[in-house]
Amino acid sequence: MTDMLDGVRDHYRATGLTERLKTALAAFGPEDQRLMPEQLGALDQFHTRGLAATAELAALAGITADMSVLDVGSGVGGPARFLAEAYGCRVTGVDLSEPFVDAARYLTERTGQSGRVSFETASALELPFDGGRFDTVLLQHVAMNIGDRTRLYCEIRRVLKLGGRFATFDVVMGDAVAHSDGPHYPLPWARTPATSFLLTGAATRAAIEPAGFRTLAWQDDTEAAKAWFARLRASDPPPSPNLGVVMGPDFPQLAANLGRNLTEGRLGILSAVFEAA
Ligand SMILES: C[S@@+](CC[C@H](N)C(=O)[O-])C[C@H]1O[C@@H](n2cnc3c(N)ncnc32)[C@H](O)[C@@H]1O
């Protein structure tokens, strides 16, 4: 297990990330100038369809101001900052990657949200919280890095209140994969198959429900994702700073491969919301 997590950590090692962000963010103004969370959207929403996908998932989950939300695999914290700004809720993020957590804290100071949004370095398989602590748990583009789905979904259920919501937005194995040699790598979450643990949508649901969940919403978002990648291909490169600062200069190639796999039916995108039963 540790070896597997080390491989995932290595993929997101992002050496010197906070320093690189400080340099890149000079484009928005001096260090002491407060940033708006949406200004960071090109670099801090590390999933298909960016900020729009986070906003849609939050609406589907029914987040409200009085909620305490946990974002599992929070990356550099964009979804957490968006939720706190849009809904006024409190958000805690946990992530395996220490450089990402460090960067998430730095960016949250820059947006002036540190009172409402916090981050901790931890594994999704061992969440550092008492049971029944959160009203909502979010998991966006993280499960494909995790082989032990039973443990993942049981941990999420453990930290949720009874009746709480679990909202997931993830990459799943497409129907065509069964008849092919698998997805093309490198991908944004894994440069080789060694740290990629994809399930079909049906297998994902079959892993989540026995952990103590009832399905409330189930949406195949593959077509929307394909259209988004088609627009991306037809447009100029995204303005800087973008996710290239976080993941390195090959990020456009990783993202393009995800788009190609979606087009070929090797991968799909799923949004779903569950109630803790
Ligand atoms: C593709 S990024 C998505 C980040 C964020 N959810 C977002 O949408 O902006 C995947 C994230 O999951 C984290 N991750 C992967 N495996 C994890 C685990 N076992 N526990 C906690 N975080 C993990 C990675 O470090 C990375 O930050």
User: What string of pLDDT tens digits covers the 277 residues of the chain?
Assistant: 667 899 999 999 988 999 999 999 999 999 999 999 999 999 999 999 999 999 999 999 999 999 999 999 999 999 999 999 999 999 999 999 999 999 999 999 999 999 999 999 999 999 999 999 999 999 999 999 999 999 999 999 999 999 999 999 999 999 877 667 889 999 999 999 999 999 999 999 999 999 999 999 999 999 999 999 999 999 988 888 999 999 999 999 999 999 999 999 999 999 999 999 9
If DSSP codes are grouped into helix, strand and coil, which group holds residue 99? Answer: helix
pTM: 0.96
Asked if residues 271 and 221 have their Cβ atoms less than 8 Å apart, the reply is yes
Å from CA of 274 to ligand 1 middle: 20
Which residue, by CA, sits nearest to atom 13 of ligand 1?
A: 73
Which residue, by CA, sits nearest to atom 26 of ligand 1?
A: 75
d(CA 130, CA 178): 40
Nearest to 221 by CA among 165, 143, 168: 168
Q: In what order do the strands lie in the sheet with 68-72?
A: 117-121, 90-95, 68-72, 134-140, 160-173, 267-276, 213-220
Which residue, by CA, sits nearest to atom 4 of ligand 1?
A: 75
Å from CA of 57 to ligand 1 middle: 17
